[in-house]
């Protein structure tokens, strides 16, 4: 346990500098989103109100009041989220490959540590989860800052202060910031399983190299097929025989099996098949 935590700390520190850059870029992009969108709205309001001699009330009626929804739907905001997602997705691969790449073969050292090799697997997965949840926490914090900024930039009569749950409800943010604990477990549970499947697929490649790419992709497809199996059987074979709750329970069981399977195969590969 102790060595596992040390490995987590080590993995975290290895990505920390890049992570800080990621955080700074996210903050800058989102602040830009707030400034650009707020100014654009106020410019539009000014043009319409003074140019077309429209009252403020009519303007708000015709053009809608400013809400945070406008910011979260802006390109700057969208790309800040996409940027983080892409970097973390790349890092899911790089967190393994960096140990093999280059002249400095750190993988020798990692595999020769006097600890269960599965700890490497868990430590890397934990580091990824910490990075993900760190960014989610940052986003929640940023929303409060951005809301305040909007209040400074948009007069009260032009805006409607929506609660966060409202402006994230109908877009991609509802996946990152689920509105209920139930959704949270579903979205992040599936996300965690996906990370473990990718880790195991990477290990297939690291163990069998060229052939391993085929094994890894096949393994990923089989896992995905297994995940969809209850839904497909219910829809096409049993013609909606099960109640939604029964289907849900079946999916949960299937997910647990997929997760345990990924860990078991990953452990087997690390213990018996891995090569430096």
**Contact residues for other proteins, defined by CB under 8 A:** 3, 6, 10, 14, 102-106, 108-109, 111-117, 207, 272-276
The residue among 106 and 185 lying less far from other proteins, judged by its C-beta, is 106
The DSSP 8-state label assigned to residue 156 in this structure reads: G
Least distance to other proteins, CB of residue 10, Å: 7
Q: Minimum Å distance from CB 121 to other proteins?
A: 14
Among residues 42 and 116, whose Cβ is nearest to other proteins? 116
Smallest distance from the beta carbon of 244 to other proteins, in angstroms? 45
Residue 129 or residue 274: which is nearer to other proteins going by CB? 274
Q: What are phi and psi of 252, to 5 degrees?
A: -60, -45
Q: Which residues contact 36 (CB under 8 A, 6 or more apart)?
A: 74, 76
Q: Which of 103, 239 has the CB closer to other proteins? A: 103
The torsion angles phi and psi of 179, rounded to 5 degrees, stand at: -85, -15
Considering beta carbons, is residue 249 or 276 the nearer one to other proteins? 276
Give the nearest distance from C-beta 16 to other proteins in angstroms: 12
- Kindly tell me which of 34 and 207 has the beta carbon lying closer to other proteins: 207
Smallest distance from the beta carbon of 220 to other proteins, in angstroms? 22
Helices (H), the chain: 2-46, 56-63, 68-72, 75-97, 106-111, 118-153, 164-167, 173-176, 181-232, 244-268
- Residue 271 structure tokens: 């213990």
42-46 long-range Cβ contacts below 8 angstroms, 24+ apart: 42/153, 42/154, 42/158, 45/158
Name the minimum Å distance from CB 276 to other proteins: 5
* Bridge partners (DSSP) listed for residue 159: 66
């Amino acid at each position: 346990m102790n060595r596992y935590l040390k490995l987590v700390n080590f993995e975290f520190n290895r990505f920390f500098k890049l992570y800080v850059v990621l955080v700074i870029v996210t903050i800058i992009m989102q602040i830009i989103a707030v400034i650009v969108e707020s100014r654009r709205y106020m410019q539009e309001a000014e043009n319409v109100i003074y140019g077309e001699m429209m009252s403020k009330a009519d303007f708000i009626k015709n053009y809608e009041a400013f809400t945070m929804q406008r910011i979260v739907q802006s390109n700057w905001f969208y790309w800040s989220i996409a940027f983080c997602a892409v970097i973390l997705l790349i890092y899911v691969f790089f967190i393994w490959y960096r140990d093999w790449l280059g002249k400095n073969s750190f993988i020798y050292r990692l595999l020769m540590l006097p600890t269960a090799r599965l700890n490497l697997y868990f430590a890397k997965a934990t580091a990824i989860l910490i990075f993900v949840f760190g960014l989610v926490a940052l986003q929640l914090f940023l929303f409060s800052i951005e809301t305040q900024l909007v209040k400074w930039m948009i007069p009260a009569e032009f805006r409607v202060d929506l609660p966060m749950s409202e402006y994230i409800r109908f877009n991609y943010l509802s996946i990152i910031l689920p509105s209920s604990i139930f959704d949270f477990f579903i979205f992040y549970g599936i996300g965690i399983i996906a990370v473990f499947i990718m880790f195991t697929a990477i290990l297939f490649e690291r163990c069998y190299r060229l052939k391993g790419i085929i094994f890894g992709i096949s393994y990923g497809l089989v896992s995905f097929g297994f995940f969809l199996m209850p839904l497909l059987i219910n829809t096409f074979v049993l013609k909606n025989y099960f109640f939604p709750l029964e289907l849900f329970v079946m999916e949960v069981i299937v997910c647990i099996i997929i997760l345990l399977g990924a860990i078991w195969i990953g452990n087997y590969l690390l213990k018996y098949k891995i090569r430096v």
